[in-house]
Chains A and B, each alone.
Chain A
Amino acid sequence: MSETLRFLSDDLQLMALSFMAVVYVFRIRWLLKFKASAERQAPSGAAGTSPFKGIVYSWANIAMPWSMESTRRMIFFYLQFVVFHLAVAANIAMSFVIPYAPGLMRPMIVVRLLQALFAAACVIGCYRLYRRLSHPAIRLISTPDDYFSLALLTLWSFASIFAAPNRPDQGEGPLMVYFVMTAFFLVYVPFSKISHYLYYPFTRFYFGRTMGHRGVYPVKRVTQPKATRA
């Protein structure tokens, strides 16, 4: 491995990660600076509900596609979401595994699975870009950041397909591209919509707390019309 690749896969990643962590600390401090409003009323809704249950349900909501009408009705879209986010998580994990635990990626099955996942993410990313451009409502709300973030993740997934085998002996190019892109990703994330996962626990916590306190969460759904006739 060349010194350049070693720098890109190790020092540069640590610098980018540190930068991201620092910005995140500022972002969270900024968010916490705003006062959280309280729920003073007596609990309402079904007896079994509580703020705690509401919070747990709210956090777990994303893993329960049946819990929201939007995910129920757009199940294909939801599956895309799952695959895309799994690929991003795997991609981040791979940026640690390659420099620090390369042995984990020696079995070919692992490499092939990762490549399949990244390829799927790449296809989904392309489709999402198309959807963002073609759907009038989505196009209207899309910002340059939305397009750039999606394009970045799609390209990053594409680059990862070639980096996954981790064979610097066969040419360091794919790994260098991958690590440069990863570092850029880490630096850019805190300023982009990709940092939504930073806000997710907060928005879901407060929404779940309120909805749990008021007995709306967990959502009760009656799927079949229930007729009562004497």
Chain B
Amino acid sequence: MTQRVRSHKAEKVVERMGRKLNRQMVGSLAGCVHCGMCTESCHYVLANPDDPTYAPAYKADQIRKIFKRNFDWTGKVFPWWVHAQDIRTDQDLETLKDIVFGKCTNCRRCSLNCPMGVDFATLNRMARGLLVSVGVMPEGVAVVSKDQWEVGNQMGVLPQDYRETLEWLSDELEAEFKDPAARIPIDKMDAEVVYAINPREVKYDPRTISDAARIFYLANENWTMPSEGWDMTNFGLFSGDDELGAAVAQRVYDKVAELRGTRLVLSECGHGYRSTRCEGPNWSGKEIPFVIESSVLSMLRYIKEGRIRIDKSKNKDSYTFHDSCNNARSCGFFEEPRELLNLLVTDFREMVPNRAENFCCTGGGGAMSMSEYTPQRLKSAQIKADQLKATGVKMVVTSCHNCVDGLADVIRHYKLGMKVTQLVSLTANALVVPEKIVVPVKARIPEVSLPLQGFKILVVDDEPDILAFIATVLEDQGAAVIQAADGEQALALALQEKPDLITLDLSMPGKNGGYVFEEIRNNPEAASTKVCIITGKPELRRLIYERPVAPPEGYLDKPVDEKTLLSNIRMILELKHPHGNA
């Protein structure tokens, strides 16, 4: 009877749930006794003690009630007795979406703390997958999934951009070592190592690629990077879409097989490691004929075998290690990073709790791409902030790109004054370069005149990815960059730092960009500061130009690419010549 009143999407969700259920899930759905032991293991609950809807058992119950109503006969016969309830309308699906995407990062901490062995995270992921299958998902999830399906990587990096980035990094490597062999090989056949990366590295942080390349080069490794199937991340893990998960993993496996690689080495990414190393074979249903390992293991092996030499005194700060949930709780990967870290730094302090009991960076499960949930995510990050603060260190090391962004966001929001780095960067920094390899890097630097050298730029954006991207691009061109994640911070920094230019996002929580812009223009001390609006909402442009103040000097629509950004910034700063000779 209930089927007749369901919306088309709700009907599909229930139908697909029946196909998706496996014995593990059914056990988890039927076995919960509502004891509440999971409650205090969740960082959302701990940071929101007055909101019981964050309790893992409650969140799981939103899936469980559909299961009971449709697949468990107790719930079919006596629904009110066991709180079985059908899902009927599209609004019900939207409500479920806000729970499974917005109130859980699938970190699996509650699963590990359930006396019954109920795997909440698996249930949550299943629910995400069901919603995604009918098109109900946060916009960010849709965009990233689409890129991964259609372009082949989750950030929509085009093949040409990928190749150009590697070529540019190769040129730098070659110049650094003055060795024509010091390049990043692409599609080399029969290599010992095929190195797959996170597209974030190409787009926002290519330094980690060059760090890895330096390590491979100095270790004399027979390695290559693939021209396709190079994205080891997998949004299928976050979206719950097993088909996407299988397709993405298979793309990577196929390329390694085509290149006849011996070992697939994955750059430091928690969800990428879990997806490619652990879940991929399950999703694709195939055995993998080569070894898959994290680059952490490769680096550790190089040091142990004496293939690279390390001087740990080069990493002088105090460090702690943050375990990625996917690495530690789903892959048992927590000792090797520590072993490596102890070889790389002189002051390592454990975070408590740690390993499989560590708290999520709070940006996991794709949360960084779901901006609509950012306020609640950052509020819930109080637990992580306290945990980080208690270590008393300057640097947080993690083996996960997603955690880098998540932690950077937490550190910025809670003003912890720490920095986040990865093991590959620490390893590269501590490398002892043999004398036969000439490294005249410092001699070259003065010859290069960076176009934005001497300029101070304030970058304002509430999206950590965009903030990092713009800041990195400008820093790479020599600018001194200050970052602000919200309007209040932007106003304070604009007055305090007196930048030459402000890049300003419009849509931000709290004081929005329009308000900030008008305040700047109305303040005699800051009125002459050049402003470039960078917004993803062109419809807000009107609001800026209608204000009773001088218009901004520049305006850019998101997404903005590196070339457009730089040419516009240079134009605003009246730097017509590419090397800064205004």
Point out residues on A near B: beta carbons under 8 Å: 31-32, 34-42, 44-46, 49, 58, 61-62, 68-71, 73-74, 77, 81, 135-146, 191, 193, 196, 199-200, 202-204, 206-208, 210-211, 214-216, 219-222, 225-230
Q: Is B117 among interface residues, defined by CB-CB distance under 8 A?
A: yes
Check B55 against A137 for contact (C-beta < 8 Å): yes
Closest B residue to A59 by CB, please name it: B117
With A144-B80, A199-B27 as known contacts, state yes or no: A204 contacts B117, CB within 8 Å. Answer: yes
Check B333 against A45 for contact (C-beta < 8 Å): yes
Check A70 against B38 for contact (C-beta < 8 Å): yes
Closest B residue to A39 by CB, please name it: B282
Closest A residue to B313 by CB, please name it: A230
Q: In the assembly, what is the distance between CA of A137 and CA of B36, in Å?
A: 8
With A138-B36, A204-B117, A222-B350 as known contacts, state yes or no: A228 contacts B342, CB within 8 Å. Answer: yes
> Which residues of B have CB within 8 Å of A146?
33-34
Q: Is B554 among interface residues, defined by CB-CB distance under 8 A?
A: no
With A38-B282, A219-B356, A220-B355 as known contacts, state yes or no: A227 contacts B36, CB within 8 Å. Answer: no
Closest A residue to B347 by CB, please name it: A229
Check B24 against A37 for contact (C-beta < 8 Å): yes
Query: Contact check: which of B26, B58, B112, B117 meets A31 at CB < 8 Å?
Result: B26
Q: Is B493 among interface residues, defined by CB-CB distance under 8 A?
A: no
> Which residues of B have CB within 8 Å of A45?
331-333
Check B278 against A214 for contact (C-beta < 8 Å): yes
> Which residues of A have CB within 8 Å of B35?
81
Closest A residue to B72 by CB, please name it: A30
Q: In the assembly, what is the distance between CA of A135 and CA of B37, in Å?
A: 12
Check B41 against A44 for contact (C-beta < 8 Å): no
Check B74 against A49 for contact (C-beta < 8 Å): no
Closest B residue to A65 by CB, please name it: B115
Q: Is B353 among interface residues, defined by CB-CB distance under 8 A?
A: yes
Query: Contact check: which of A41, A143, A229 meets B280 at CB < 8 Å?
Result: A41
> Which residues of B have CB within 8 Å of A137?
36, 39, 45, 52, 55, 57-58
The 8 residue pairs across chains A and B that have the minimum distance between CB atoms: A45-B332, A215-B332, A199-B31, A230-B346, A137-B52, A40-B281, A203-B117, A70-B113
Check A44 against B23 for contact (C-beta < 8 Å): no
> Which residues of A have CB within 8 Å of B353?
69, 221
Q: In the assembly, what is the distance between CA of A230 and CA of B312, in Å?
A: 10
Q: In the assembly, what is the distance between CA of A33 and CA of B23, in Å?
A: 8
Check B21 against A227 for contact (C-beta < 8 Å): no
Closest B residue to A73 by CB, please name it: B40
> Which residues of A have CB within 8 Å of B101?
none
> Which residues of A have CB within 8 Å of B258?
none
Check B117 against A138 for contact (C-beta < 8 Å): no
Q: Is B517 among interface residues, defined by CB-CB distance under 8 A?
A: no
> Which residues of B have CB within 8 Å of A69?
41, 112-113, 353, 357
Query: Contact check: which of B41, B52, B354 meets A140 at CB < 8 Å?
Result: B52
Query: Contact check: which of A74, A191, A219, A220 meets B112 at CB < 8 Å?
Result: A219
Q: Is B466 among interface residues, defined by CB-CB distance under 8 A?
A: no
How many B residues face the partner with a CB closer than 8 A? 79
Check A135 against B287 for contact (C-beta < 8 Å): no
Check B31 against A203 for contact (C-beta < 8 Å): yes
Q: Is B550 among interface residues, defined by CB-CB distance under 8 A?
A: no
Check A202 against B23 for contact (C-beta < 8 Å): yes
Check B334 against A145 for contact (C-beta < 8 Å): no
Q: In the assembly, what is the distance between CA of A61 and CA of B113, in Å?
A: 10
Q: List 30 A-B contacts (CB under 8 A).
A: A34-B21, A34-B26, A36-B23, A37-B22, A44-B331, A46-B335, A69-B112, A69-B357, A136-B52, A138-B34, A139-B52, A141-B55, A141-B58, A144-B81, A144-B82, A145-B82, A193-B34, A196-B31, A200-B31, A203-B28, A207-B119, A216-B112, A216-B328, A216-B356, A219-B355, A219-B356, A221-B357, A228-B342, A228-B349, A229-B348
CB distance from A37 to the nearest CB of B (A): 5
Give B345-365 as 1s and 0s: 1 = Cβ < 8 Å from A's Cβ atoms.
111111111111100000000
Give B271-293 as 1s and 0s: 1 = Cβ < 8 Å from A's Cβ atoms.
00000011111100111100110
Q: Is B170 among interface residues, defined by CB-CB distance under 8 A?
A: no
Closest A residue to B80 by CB, please name it: A144
Check B113 against A68 for contact (C-beta < 8 Å): yes
> Which residues of A have CB within 8 Å of B334?
220
Which of B112, B291, B346 has the most chain A CB atoms inside 10 A of its CB?
Answer: B112
CB distance from A66 to the nearest CB of B (A): 12
Q: In the assembly, what is the distance between CA of A36 and CA of B57, in Å?
A: 23
With A45-B333, A199-B27 as known contacts, state yes or no: A70 contacts B115, CB within 8 Å. Answer: yes
Q: Is B116 among interface residues, defined by CB-CB distance under 8 A?
A: yes
Q: In the assembly, what is the distance between CA of A193 and CA of B34, in Å?
A: 9
CB distance from B52 to the nearest CB of A (A): 4
Starting from the known contacts A41-B279, A70-B41, 17 additional A-B residue pairs (CB-CB under 8 Å) come to: A40-B287, A42-B291, A44-B331, A68-B37, A69-B41, A70-B113, A137-B45, A138-B36, A144-B80, A191-B74, A203-B28, A216-B330, A225-B352, A227-B348, A228-B342, A229-B347, A230-B346
> Which residues of A have CB within 8 Å of B38?
70
Check A44 against B115 for contact (C-beta < 8 Å): no
Q: Is B329 among interface residues, defined by CB-CB distance under 8 A?
A: yes
Check B288 against A229 for contact (C-beta < 8 Å): no
Q: In the assembly, what is the distance between CA of A42 and CA of B55, in Å?
A: 34
With A71-B115, A77-B37, A196-B116 as known contacts, state yes or no: A143 contacts B82, CB within 8 Å. Answer: yes
Check B281 against A41 for contact (C-beta < 8 Å): yes
Q: Is B111 among interface residues, defined by CB-CB distance under 8 A?
A: yes
